[in-house]
A and B are shown apart, each in its own frame.
Chain A
């Protein structure tokens, strides 16, 4: 009991409360503070912050959806279409990016996508284009990186839940006259729901809280909210503002996680534990 409480209280609960308190401090003069909501007001009045925030949320949702769309067929393939050794190997291959640092993965994409990078050179080599092309530093490259980084966290829960789906259920679905699509919609997806939800939650969290990918692949204008937080804390040393931003991000993520759980009628303990 004691280790749990110490850990939860001193590292999770109290720091967040403290952060909230700090976010309510207004700087009225050097080293003089008042309690108030001006940090939050600042957020709502300054369109840059507000836009960044919305943009981060939308991009994260989009990245989550894309990851699900791309990852589901692959998970299904691993869980149901292949067996034995092949399956083991494919599953392990999916895991590899996880065992490699996010930094390394992002670095790989930079090498591939940048102006002097592999893809650009390859296109020039086969004659599709005359000059080098910059694939980096745009929204698509951020998206590619986000989906790539999060893919594993979608595939692993999906494979696990799909694996537990009894083949005879699918067979029964067909036997009773269902089409492939109907079986997918009525049997496979409902069964995989816990996996889908937990995958989506984790992917969304990772995208929202990501810093590396937008900064490195999106360049200066990536406009990611975590960057704003970092800037407030480290560059401007405006911790009060940064805390407010952090708290807003926390609220946003909690809201979306909560909504996701509600819509799919799952609980946090079910999907995570």
Chain B
């Protein structure tokens, strides 16, 4: 079952065929989404009415459809998503780096228990994370209001809660990514720096952090994408400004038009671009 062991031709063919089918299965939905973004029709479905870019650039005047770049609602929600993703990324990379140093370098009581706790958000369904944060922030907001009479608007469903909700589980992933690289770091490099006269902090800044940089950027990209795409947690915490996924979901339930295909294609391109950057970075690390 490895290339060095001979197998029958039939087996190889069937196996290769199976894998091919698998990749068709993987690609099919993405391909149709992309293709129908260019269909000159009001619905993202057959028949094919000809090629058009209207769903991207049309302004809804006259004969054209209202394209993605003129849909204020969608554009606005992209902005919201970008903002949320940026905040989440910064928070996650920062806390993830601190966590990585903590778990890889320090010893403290209950370290293992805390490590398991740190992993927990991975196995808690996103929607539950969402509601628990919703409930808690509501409790706090009500408590503050009852006690002090302040109405803390930011603790009501809205962007802050969305950021916190996404941050709560993406941090785990960032921590794992950064820890993995920190674990490979040769600590004698830091000792060598101190031996050459650097203070502890200078050694970390000039030696360890540059070494971690690819992992930190990688974790940041992953955090950004996960935040951008997140739906489950966001759904429970969202207020009046809705991120892109929520806007799309609402539109989808109302009935889809190819403008959604256009947004999807646009998203795919951005994601793939970020993914490529990430892969390039990982590869540079190996050289």
Partners in one complex: yes
CA distance A74 to B176 in the complex (A): 26
Contact of A100 with B by CB under 8 A:
yes
- A-chain residues with CB within 8 Å of residue B128 when the two chains form the complex: 19, 209, 229, 246, 249-250
Compute the total of residue contacts between A and B using a CB distance below 8 Å.
Answer: 248
Residues of B within 8 A of A205 (CB): 122-125
- B231 to chain A: which residues have CB within 8 Å? 101-103, 211-212
Chain A residues with CB under 8 Å of B43's CB are 116
Bound-state Cα–Cα, A194 to B21, Å = 27
A158 in contact (CB, < 8 A)? no
Stretch of B52-60, B130-138, B144-152, B195-203 at the chain-chain interface: B130-138
B123 pairs with A107, CB closer than 8 A:
no
Q: Are B119 and A19 in contact (CB under 8 A)?
A: no
Q: Are A19 and B132 in contact (CB under 8 A)?
A: yes
Query: Which residues of A in the span 201-226 have a Cβ within 8 Å of any Cβ on B?
Result: 201-202, 205, 208-212, 216, 226
Asked whether B164 lies within 8 Å of A250 as measured between CB atoms, the reply is: no
B residues 28-47 in Cβ contact with A at 8 Å: 28-33, 36, 43-47
**In the assembled complex, B212 has its CB within 8 A of some CB on chain A:** no
Cβ contacts under 8 Å, A239 to chain B = 135, 138
- Complex interface bits, B80-103 against A, C-beta within 8 A gives 1, otherwise 0: 000000000000001100110010
Q: Which of A5-13, A32-40, A44-52 contacts B (4 or more CB under 8 A)?
A: A5-13
List the one stretch of B2-10, B62-70, B71-79, B185-193 in contact with chain A: B2-10
Question: Please, how many angstroms separate the alpha-carbon atoms of A117 and B35 in the complex?
Answer: 13
Interface residue A70 (Cβ < 8 Å from any Cβ of B): yes
A96 within 8 A of B: yes
Q: Pick the contact of A108: B29, B98, B119 (CB < 8 A).
A: B29
Contact A233 B134 (CB under 8 A): yes
Q: Which residues of A contact B47 (CB under 8 A)?
A: 121
Residue of B nearest to A78 (CB): B19
- B contact residues around A14 at 8 Å (CB): 136
B120 within 8 A of A: yes
Is the beta-carbon distance between B115 and A15 smaller than 8 angstroms? no
Check B30–A105 contact: CB distance below 8 A. Answer: yes
| Cβ A171 vs Cβ B19 within 8 A | no
The proximity string for B residues 251-268 relative to A, scoring 1 for CB distances below 8 Å and 0 otherwise, is 011001000110010011
A233 touching B236 in the complex, CB below 8 Å, given contacts A80-B2, A99-B225, A108-B32? yes
B208 CB–A CB distance under 8 Å:
no
**C-alpha gap A239/B137 in the complex (Å):** 13
Alpha-carbon distance A126/B118, docked complex (angstroms)? 54
In the bound complex, CA of A103 to CA of B235 (Å): 12
- Contact indicator B126/A99 (Cβ below 8 Å): no
Q: A100-B271, A151-B26, A167-B2 are in contact. Are A12 and B139 (CB under 8 A)?
A: no
Contact with B135, one of A1, A12, A18, A92 (Cβ below 8 angstroms) = A18
Q: Output the least CB separation between A210 and chain B (Å).
A: 7
How far apart sit A183 and B1, CA to CA, in the bound complex (Å)? 9
A16 within 8 A of B: yes
| Residue of chain A at shortest CB distance from B34 | A108
Given contacts A15-B132, A70-B22, A212-B231, contact A4 B127 (CB under 8 A): no
List chain B positions with a Cβ less than 8 A from chain A. Answer: 1-5, 15, 18-19, 22-23, 25-33, 36, 43-47, 94-95, 98-99, 102, 106, 108, 112, 114-129, 131-139, 164-165, 167-168, 171, 176, 179, 225, 228-229, 231-232, 235-236, 245, 248-249, 252-253, 256, 260-261, 264, 267-268, 271-272, 274-275, 279
A sample of 19 cross-chain residue pairs with beta-carbon separation below 8 angstroms, ordered by A number, consists of: A2-B98, A4-B114, A15-B135, A73-B15, A74-B18, A80-B1, A80-B2, A81-B3, A103-B231, A103-B245, A107-B248, A111-B44, A112-B32, A117-B45, A117-B46, A118-B32, A170-B2, A171-B2, A269-B116
